[in-house]
Amino acid sequence: MLLVFISVFRLQAMGEGRHADSGYGPASDSEILKDAAEAVSLAEAHERDFIFSEAIRLRLVADSLYSLLSPDSLYADNRLCLSGLYYRTGKYDLAFRQVMDVMPVYADLGDDKALLKCENILGSVFYAVRDYEKASDYFRKFARGAEQSGDTTLMIYALQNLAVYANSMGDFRRSQSFMSESISLCRQVGDSSFLCRMYENLSATYINETRFEEAEEYLSLAKPLLGTIEQKGQYHHYLGVLRFFADGNSSVAVEHLDSALVYYGQGEFFRQEQSCLEMLQAIYASDGDYVRAYETLRRYHDNLAYSRERDVVRELFLAQNEILDNIRKEEMSTRRHRQTLILVLFFSAIAIAGAVALVLLKKKTYRIRMREAELANQELLNAKRAQELAAENEIAKLKKLQRFKTDRLVEEMIGRLSGFREEIADPEMRAELSSICTQFRSLKDEDEWREVRQFVPDQDTTFYNNLISAFPNLTVNERRLCVFLNKNLTTKEISAITRQSVHSINIARGRLRSKLGITGDNVSIQEFLSKFN
């Protein structure tokens, strides 16, 4: 113990005077970290012995050393442990402050698991001061995060929190369900210490429900797992309460409660001691032993004089308000900076928008002028094309008239020759006249096709060749009709070109459908012919 005090004194001296002006000069970062690690190691040793006040004092020494450096995970972890110690000793306002200090550090480090631990402590703090709404919010956040992380240890803590909260709300069945699930996880990971705590907590739940057989069953399961003085004290504490309420056996109850006080006295378990003393006072009073009841009550109040619980809610409220005020100030400062930035960006945006609008206006004016020039050129081209079309129409009309006269002349000659042939008896002369008539008709057809080729200049194409390959028996007129139809010409347009009547063209179309093998009305000749393109 003497060595421990010497170490603590040396660490405090280093933490307080490290950077003072002296002949030794400032310490290096590595020396500071080494000294802080020593303080943390000693604090952990005291915490294992449940000497929380010494553990807190050493953690504060380590905190003063870490504060000389930039905040990092070591700094945050030490403060998180410090908040847990404050919670265990009932100093909820200090636990709250420590957690709120380190949460931004963990957020910057991206340590989600540490942030979950912070939420767990905050939930426990608000539950302890009976702010169940906030406690429930933090416990549920912690449970969701633990489930998402897949960390079994965090899930055990989360289920324990939910069980305690459900029990305080009077939902004993739900509380037992959470505890049973937590016990199952403890068995999976082989955590006997936490399993012992779960058995003891479940036993306490059954005692509250006056289900004493189940409470005794879980205490018997916890007994072989007892390890720490806290677990042993809790075991005798609950067993003493159980013996009094289940059996009415005051002497056995007092014996177990006294044993619990012995175990609690080996560490710093103020709240547990107060609960035992309160129970002992009630037992003595019920037995009429008012002397012992008074002594126990006086001891209870003497211990209470050293407690901070009377002001803890007020101090936690003040701590919350202080932190909220700081947050509001930071938000106001941020809001002012943001407003200034928005104004600068706004006026910059106006200037940029004006410049862009000017450029766009010039471009638009240029495009309008170019479009006007294009329209003027297009009008000239359209006028020129109209003149060309008018000239072509005049030429076509003249050609058509000329062709009509020529056709009539040829028809008259063929008619006259045919009349002469009927009047002549000589067979050779008749044959010669028939040959001449045939030649005239052939020349007439050839002239007509040459004229048609002006309208269908690409008749000798892939389409035409594919069509002839598929249907070699088509006549010349049928082939011509196929070319016209493939060009999507109407019956009236074909009639104008071939100088045949519309009725004749329709009859020719019907015969062509049959010859091409087109049946039904769902397929047109044009659709059928398009596959030969």
Token pair, residue 138, equals: 């933090």
**Residue of higher predicted confidence among 405 and 260:** 260
> Does residue 397 register a pLDDT over 70?
no
Q: How many CA atoms lie within 13 A of 428 on its CB side?
A: 0
The conformation of residue 500, written as its DSSP 8-state character, comes to -
Give the model confidence (pLDDT) of 334-356 as tens digits: 777 777 788 788 888 888 888 88
Q: What pLDDT does residue 118 have?
A: 93
Give 308's pLDDT tier (boundaries 50, 70, 90). Answer: very low
Residue 61: partners with Cβ closer than 8 Å, 6 or more residues away = 8, 11, 12, 15, 36, 39
The helix (run of H) or strand (run of E) holding residue 452 is helix 427-455
CB count in 10 Å sphere of residue 479: 16
Averaged pLDDT of the chain: 80
* Region 203-228 average pLDDT: 88
> Does residue 42 register a pLDDT over 90?
yes
Q: What fold characterizes domain 459-530?
A: Arc Repressor Mutant, subunit A (1.10.10)
> Does residue 181 register a pLDDT over 90?
no
* Region 351-362 average pLDDT: 84
Q: What pLDDT does residue 43 have?
A: 92
**Spatial separation of the C-alpha atoms in residues 473 and 471, rounded to whole Å:** 6
Give 3's pLDDT tier (boundaries 50, 70, 90). Answer: very low
Q: Where are the domains of the chain?
A: 459-530
Residue 389 burial (C-beta neighbours within 10 Å; 0-12, 13-18, 19+): exposed
Q: What pLDDT does residue 453 have?
A: 54
Per-residue CA distances from 41 to 13, 45, 47, 49 (Å): 17, 6, 10, 13
**Residue of higher predicted confidence among 382 and 37:** 37
Let me know: does 498 contact 509? Beta carbons within 8 Å.
no
Give the model confidence (pLDDT) of 365-375 as tens digits: 888 888 887 88
Q: What pLDDT does residue 381 have?
A: 76
Q: What pLDDT does residue 228 have?
A: 92
Q: What pLDDT does residue 223 have?
A: 92
* Region 195-217 average pLDDT: 86
Give the model confidence (pLDDT) of 261-294 as tens digits: 999 989 888 888 888 988 898 898 888 888 888 8
> Does residue 82 register a pLDDT over 90?
yes
Q: What pLDDT does residue 447 have?
A: 58
Q: Give DSSP secondary structure letters for 160-225.
A: HHHHHHHHHTT-HHHHHHHHHHHHHHHHHHT-HHHHHHHHHHHHHHHHHTT-HHHHHHHHHHHGGG
Q: What pLDDT does residue 1 have?
A: 38
Give buried/exposed letters for 103-138 (b at 16+ CB in 10 A, else e): bebbeeeebeebbbbbbbbbbbbbbbbebeeebbeb
Quick one: which of 292, 268, 280 has its CA closest to 91?
268
**Spatial separation of the C-alpha atoms in residues 120 and 156, rounded to whole Å:** 12
Per-residue CA distances from 511 to 136, 215, 452, 474, 508 (Å): 90, 105, 21, 11, 5
* Region 81-92 average pLDDT: 89
Give 415's pLDDT tier (boundaries 50, 70, 90). Answer: confident
**Residue of higher predicted confidence among 2 and 72:** 72
> Does residue 498 register a pLDDT over 80?
no
Per-residue CA distances from 368 to 361, 365, 375 (Å): 10, 5, 10
> Does residue 310 register a pLDDT over 50?
no
Give the model confidence (pLDDT) of 120-129 as tens digits: 999 988 888 8
**pLDDT > 70 fraction of the chain, expressed in percent and rounded:** 81
Give 324's pLDDT tier (boundaries 50, 70, 90). Answer: low
* Region 415-435 average pLDDT: 76
Between the ranges 21-25, 133-137, 177-181, where is the mean pLDDT highest?
133-137
> Does residue 251 register a pLDDT over 70?
yes
**Is residue 73 classed as helix, strand or coil in its secondary structure?**
helix
Residue 255 burial (C-beta neighbours within 10 Å; 0-12, 13-18, 19+): middle
Q: What pLDDT does residue 523 have?
A: 82
Choose the weakest-confidence range: 34-43, 235-244, 327-336, 485-494: 327-336
